Structure 1
């Protein structure tokens, strides 16, 4: 597993010690009259009221820390449960879809058909055979820690290959001829996209059906997983219904109880134990702890959204004279490692609005699989408002070998906007296939279609915020060196 002990320790220390240090520096007074002391101490001892408040504060701090660290695990469980809710069972089937607004999922897109499956390694290793072709895929563990890449970003670079995912502590013989990934969890996520070359969506859907996924124990006569097309199915693959209430902790308890302990996470299991979540024991918070946990879930979620949409870091900006921002703030790192340690804000920022990790997703080099930028504000710095109308100018040609798109997301759900238009993206292979490849292309967003530009417009919802992603597939050097850049999203009257 690619998470390190430093990740857990850094999070435990960074999220708790700064607040605790501030409080302790003020609480050393031995007088009752200090107006600055957050807690009252008499002759060096806490009063009963102080003891209760300090215990509540400490549990709240622990809970916010735990929430932010474990959010990726609960988020990926949302993907698993989204599949299960529509009848796609672990190890039996993969859901495939040419996704649209009806599939609620953190920043899913309509550019490339998706396939996703929950694999259960508790019964043994799983084989994944990817044919040659334009696939982009990965396997992540239950904590959204990267295990391996498939397809174009993998070591075979699209030439096809056989992959083997091993369960925690696997001691059996590993057969030759496979690219091997070892998981620290029994449940893992397989996510694969097939690129619709020349706009052939049906061809991409058919390509997903050519994957072969089966238990290694059946290799002589493979027991293949089946495929379920959910393109027209409404489904929710997020943790939205859990993320701000006690259900977050109930889901987390189920995950901790079902999975083996991960040694680098020991400091974070310690936090959970202090909150009443422990492997092998029931989770039954009393009224006091339940109130603290619910408050911490709201605060933790909101703090992560601040990292996503209100960061003040200068390095988030893709260009100094634009409001467009990098989605991933740590280039080329699957787990947000930097020479100075784990970039905590980059981690929060990513998982608040997106899913899965892989080094390939964060590369900033020409020829990388894809490149994403985010805009949550217009050119004046104001948040994008679903009740207002906007225009975005995209210079041509866009520096990408394959294709590009602009997708619009609801700020509250971090999923494609849902309107009666039933569309959330403008794509170079589809809606914009006849657009100029030399003159700038203008795109429009708002509650009412602009006269004469209905075919280049995405409808938004009054009273709701929204944000946009630009995606470039097969980005070229001009996408990185500043010689090409989009306009800002500008309000129109």
Structure 2
């Protein structure tokens, strides 16, 4: 008995001594000086500045999706697409700057205002993949193939936060927590017919519920050849981030589940019903927080240390979405903040359909940031990427190159950033593997399977599979890593 008790007592004594010594150690390591239990004068200013910076960085990272989606709204408006009046439809390319937009499918996008009454989005039957997100990029509903209509067409209704009316029969309904809503729809280019897919976007009808008996749909505007910037790049590292966020906070109702985060914003001067007027000290802190917050999110995006990020244990390819089968990064432990930061630093919009990892899911995304040896991809070097055939895709697949600084398609005089199975790679043999190339100069005899990159700029890639089959999940199929070639 003694041999058992003594170690236990000794362990307890050590723990107790450690507990009473911990405050002294912590105080010695603290950057703030105290005297007789009170903060010294020089400590007060530093502690307040540090606390405000920490709160501002946390607020920045949490509210980044809100400012990011405002970038999309802003891009639409600058292109002449007014809220509730016009929908943009585009076969997107490098000229459309947007976080990891792609050229695989034409896009339809609109800013809807549901403050006064619900809006109806009517899809005909066909190959549509659509969704609606609110002003905080929270998911409202899916449409088309991943939605309740299953591609058979239907009327989708989005009601605002103050709507108290009944939902009429015959609608797939969703409620937005905010007045402004992003509607995004993609049309699949079945058989490689891009124009037919664009025409399918023009067949969508969007109109107020009150006009359902005799609708006058929003006009569809082709923006394929329009230079657009739908990002928050101009705001994300300076005081404008906070000015844009303040405007949204003033215009939108408060979302109950975000109450603690509104309180956090209030500590840095953003509060609904009050004027945002940071003094010189707070402005400097907020600008510093914007730079640090953005950079911290980019580390999550491009150099996460999460072991679950790898798609295959012997490859550098990573999952873009770290939490499968959820719209808002929910886990049993709560919201996965690393996964949330990682996603919104490089992408836009959310839906559970986007993160499914099962056969028959709408699509899969894998991220490639490094080459086979672990070095970041460099726009001044040439790489080969071998893709085994056949790719386990019921529909089609692609590889797209993105600029690391803009998180948008690489911009060069080649004016393309993707190699797609329905277009550039439609003649690839169904067995063996196909070699794709990325670099500043076209490799001899492989010009049609090459994407030009820019020396002096980093880049990354997404592999996308649409209609993935089992081998994409079980490990019997996997792409090679990027390999530098001379």
Structure 1 length-normalised TM: 0.93
The CA deviation at 1:26 is: 11
* Aligned partner of 1:309 among 290, 302, 322: 302
Distance, in Å, in 2 between the alignment partners of 1:49 and 1:447 is 54
| 2:94–2:416 Cα contact (<8 Å) kept | yes
* Aligned partner of 1:242 among 232, 235, 246: 235
Relative to structure 1, the CA distance from residue 437 to residue 47 in structure 2 (aligned partners, 3 Å threshold; closer, same or farther) is same
Q: 1:164 maps to what in 2?
A: 157
Q: 2:140 maps to what in 1?
A: 147
Structural mapping, 1:130-279, within 5 Å: 130-279=123-272
* Aligned partner of 1:395 among 368, 378, 388: 388
Unaligned segments of structure 1, at least 5 residues? 1-24
The CA deviation at 1:194 is: 0.1
| 1:26–1:37 Cα contact (<8 Å) kept | no
Please state if 1:112 is matched with 2:105.
yes
| 1:30–1:41 Cα contact (<8 Å) kept | no
Distance, in Å, in 1 between the alignment partners of 2:149 and 2:228 is 33
Cα deviation, 1:171-205, whole Å, max 9, x if unaligned, reads 11221111110010000000000000001111001
Q: Matched residue of 1:68: which SS? A: helix
Structural mapping, 1:428-447, within 5 Å: 428-447=421-440
Cα deviation, 1:56-112, whole Å, max 9, x if unaligned, reads 011001101100110000000000000101111000001110000000000000000
Q: 1:458 maps to what in 2?
A: 451
The CA deviation at 1:38 is: 1.1
Distance, in Å, in 2 between the alignment partners of 1:27 and 1:420 is 61
Unaligned segments of structure 2, at least 5 residues? 1-19
Cα deviation, 1:213-268, whole Å, max 9, x if unaligned, reads 00011112212100111101111000000000000000000000000011111110
Q: 2:12 maps to what in 1?
A: none
Q: Matched residue of 2:220: which SS? A: strand
Q: Matched residue of 2:115: which SS? A: helix
Q: 2:344 maps to what in 1?
A: 351
| 1:390–1:492 Cα contact (<8 Å) kept | yes
Q: Which has the larger radius of gyration?
A: 2
| 1:95–1:227 Cα contact (<8 Å) kept | yes
Q: Matched residue of 1:217: which SS? A: helix
Structural mapping, 1:330-409, within 5 Å: 330-409=323-402
Cα deviation, 1:120-145, whole Å, max 9, x if unaligned, reads 01121101111110000000000000
Distance, in Å, in 1 between the alignment partners of 2:230 and 2:21 is 45
Q: Matched residue of 1:404: which SS? A: strand
* Aligned partner of 1:486 among 474, 479, 486: 479
| 1:29–1:41 Cα contact (<8 Å) kept | no
Q: Matched residue of 2:398: which SS? A: strand
Q: Matched residue of 2:84: which SS? A: coil
Q: 2:86 maps to what in 1?
A: 93
Cα deviation, 1:296-324, whole Å, max 9, x if unaligned, reads 00111011001101011111000000000
Q: Matched residue of 1:277: which SS? A: coil
Q: 1:15 maps to what in 2?
A: none
Q: Matched residue of 1:470: which SS? A: strand
Q: 2:49 maps to what in 1?
A: 56
Distance, in Å, in 1 between the alignment partners of 2:310 and 2:31 is 38
Please state if 1:288 is matched with 2:256.
no
Distance, in Å, in 1 between the alignment partners of 2:329 and 2:219 is 35
Moved more, 165-174 or 455-464: 165-174
Distance, in Å, in 2 between the alignment partners of 1:26 and 1:272 is 36
Distance, in Å, in 2 between the alignment partners of 1:357 and 1:172 is 27
| 2:115–2:162 Cα contact (<8 Å) kept | no
The CA deviation at 1:439 is: 1.9
Distance, in Å, in 1 between the alignment partners of 2:41 and 2:217 is 63
Q: 1:325 maps to what in 2?
A: 318
- RMSD over aligned Cα atoms: 1.4
Q: 2:10 maps to what in 1?
A: none
